[in-house]
Amino acid sequence: MTEAPTLEKTTEEPSHLTNQRFDQFDLRPELLKGLAKAGFDYCTEIQAEALPLVLAGIDVAGQAHTGTGKTAAFLLAIFQRLLANPPVDLRVKGAVRAVVLAPTRELAIQIHRDAQTLGAFTGLRLGLVYGGTGYQQQQTDLVNGVDVLIGTPGRFIDFFKQRLFDLKHVEVVVLDEADRMFDLGFIKDIRYVLRRMPVPTKRLNMLFSATLSYRIKELAYEHMNDPRTVTIASNTPVADRLVEQVYYPANSEKLALLFGVMDRMRGDRMLVFANTRITCDQIGRRLSRHGYSTGVLSGDVPQNKRERLLEQFKIGDKQILVATDVAARGLHIPRVSHVFNYDLPQDPEDYVHRVGRTARVGESGHAISFACEEHAISLLDIEVFIGHPLEKMEISDDLLQPSRKSEQGRDTAKPIRHTVRPRQQQPRKSRQETFRSEKKQPRRQHDSISKNRGPDSVSTAPADDETAKKRSKPSVDHNARRDYGVPAIG
């Protein structure tokens, strides 16, 4: 992997676009129509630097922070290559021509959606494979044949071992969010897939990552053909127009502080990140009671529900989305105004990806973090990683007493205790009082007991004349033999 031809561009100006137009590249007319449909005219910095290389057939290892347009760069390169080079052998069943691997299901879905927009006029068949749902439908799509296959490593290898598609004719391969691949332990799966493709010199290879660490460079050296490194550097790993603030609440003040800050900022679309699923569920319930339209997104939410929640959040049906780091990478949700770090992440890179959900593509945004007693230890590492301190904010009494009320009319900033009204207990009686009350009120006897009462039993009820007569009759010997007209023997 050569380091000499590194292309580096420092982004000191707030604009995210360059003067390079897409129509100045030698792109196919089908791609220009797709770009016009998407409303793209000018390139971002990573697109302007990477597209000339990949269109010329040179491998690229790109480094840029999230929200810079990496997806459009490699999709255009894929479509241009496949349209310029028709398939060698149409008789090969299940032959895939391009592969895009992503670390998470949400990112794979986002890439597939962008590919449908940019490649709407190409006639190329797109396939999407990921775990959690749609197994039979994905299987059917692969049987019918696809040209570009996008997916996550687990489901991808599952279908490959079933021989539903073939990798011997792959012309382009893309690894997106390569650093996340390592974090999630997918590197062995990635090497398994790459070794079943043609040699690197016979295919176009692209790798994109927020950081190009030593292990990523090693992977590029093994499975790429002398790639060029394209680095879009900045003074900070976060967006230039992002306002970063930090509060120092106690653990018991975090929820009230969250309500207070939200009520005063009045964001249109807000993301709240927490470190655990249980915390996300608790925040989601309290926000709903506080009058906000809220969805909760975590790892154990079924895939169909996850997709539905993301779609509702994008179109505005949900004002707030509470999530773990599952939603921190690769998702392009337009016009996210605020990102809240309810829990500071332990990994500084996770902080960068969280706050990268706002201030995307040149927009402005706010990132508010809570450095509580439990997670404040991570703040120093985060500030060292991003290269600047966060703006420290004071916690006033007004912030801890939010004005917004829930639909039930109560202020949910205070802890809600679900209690059952206890029964009104009567004072206990002494033994003597209990004995006297039983003596005054004789026990009522059940009818079945009184009917089956024997003649020798003693009744506490007053006896009338008929009862006295019955009692005066002699007792009957039930053991004596009855006379049924049969003479007794002996």
Task: Outline where 209-276 has alpha helix (H).
Answer: 214-223, 254-265
Alpha carbon distance 127, 116 (integer Å): 10
The pLDDT value given to residue 435: 56
Positions in the chain whose pLDDT score sits under 70: 1-16, 66, 88-92, 233-236, 327-331, 361-362, 402-490
**CA 340 to CA 357: how far, in whole Å?**
11
pLDDT of residue 234: 64
pLDDT in tens, 83-101: 998 776 655 678 899 999 9
- Residue of 296, 289, 294 lying closest to 319 (CA atoms): 294
CB 107 within 8 A of CB 71: no
| pLDDT of 42 | 93
Count of CB atoms situated within 10 Å of the CB of 451: 7
**What is the predicted pLDDT for the residue at 223?**
93
User: How far apart are alpha carbons 286 and 274 in whole angstroms?
Assistant: 14
- pLDDT for res 417: 38
- Residue-level pLDDT at 440: 56
Please provide the DSSP assignment of 404-419 as one string.
---TTSS-TTSPP---
Q: Which pLDDT value is given to residue 471?
A: 53
Which domains does the chain carry? 7-233 (3.40.50.300), 242-392 (3.40.50.300)
